[in-house]
Amino acid sequence: MAKLCGVSKASVQRVWHANGLKPHLLRTFKPSKDPDFVSKLEDVVGLYMNPPEHALVFCIDEKSQIQALDRTQPGLPMKKGRAGTMTHDYKRHGTTTLFAALDVLKGEVIGRCMPQHRHQEFLSFLKTIDRGTPRRLDIHCIADNYATHKKQEVKDWIAQHPRFHLHFIPTSSSWLNLVERWFGKITTDRIRRGVFTSVRQLERAIYNYIERNNADPKPFVWTKSAKDIVSKVNRGRAALKLLPARQSGQL
């Protein structure tokens, strides 16, 4: 750009900075095409911002195929002027799937590691939540549209346990499920930095992380209203409709 405009690179950088442009960054997005987007959004955001009385609200999901990775050589610890290092190559020792339920108000997590993530494991996890929560409270579970969450066996179990209520987020809207934020934290803080010689060691590290999280929980606070989100989504969709015309030079 500097060569094309006949100015210095520093001049281009100053213009970018003054206008808040960051061409070196790229973010991805995918607007939801769910026909019930607004109603599902309002339902979930309502649980975040105005949770029902005498009830617990959980965000539930599974983090599948977590690999127990062992480095081929020992890593070097952090020291002055250098970050901690580890080899780029590794040995695989199997995988596990973490089922997690994040208590929206408290920030505590109920978690179980299982070898697979079928509807059988999901049902087992719902039973774990059932046993681990006071019977007098209703349970509202926010979940995504993964097929195992909607199996007939799951629907039958929910019908037999009327205190459980499943709330599905719109398709392509994983950002609406707060447990995804927690999955990001455990990945950054523990899993990605870990060296595990077995699946058992990996699972023990996950359970220890959950135990420390629950000893000093820090809940995520949802602040954006459903109206504000819908307004922003509509602006994005309008911009996407105009994009083909701009690219063809019609605007």
Beta strand spans in the chain (E): 55-71, 90-103, 109-114, 138-143, 164-168
The token duo for 127 is: 């039973």
Residues 200, 201, 203: CA angle, nearest 5 degrees: 65
pLDDT value at residue 82: 85
Q: What dotted CATH number matches 30-73+86-222?
A: 3.30.420.10
- Asked if residues 66 and 194 have their Cβ atoms less than 8 Å apart, the reply is no
For residues 125 and 170, what is the distance between their CA atoms, to the nearest angstrom? 22
In this prediction, residue 244 carries a pLDDT of 60
Determine the pLDDT at residue 167.
97
Question: How far is residue 212's CA from residue 94's CA, in Å, rounded to a whole number?
Answer: 25
CA distance 43 to 57: 12
- pLDDT mean by block of 10 residues, the chain; 251 residues: 91 93 85 91 95 95 94 85 84 95 96 95 96 95 94 96 96 94 95 92 97 96 92 84 60 52
What integer pLDDT is reported at residue 250 of this predicted model? 54
Tell me the sheet residues that pair with 133. Answer: none
Which sequence spans correspond to the domains of the chain?
30-73+86-222
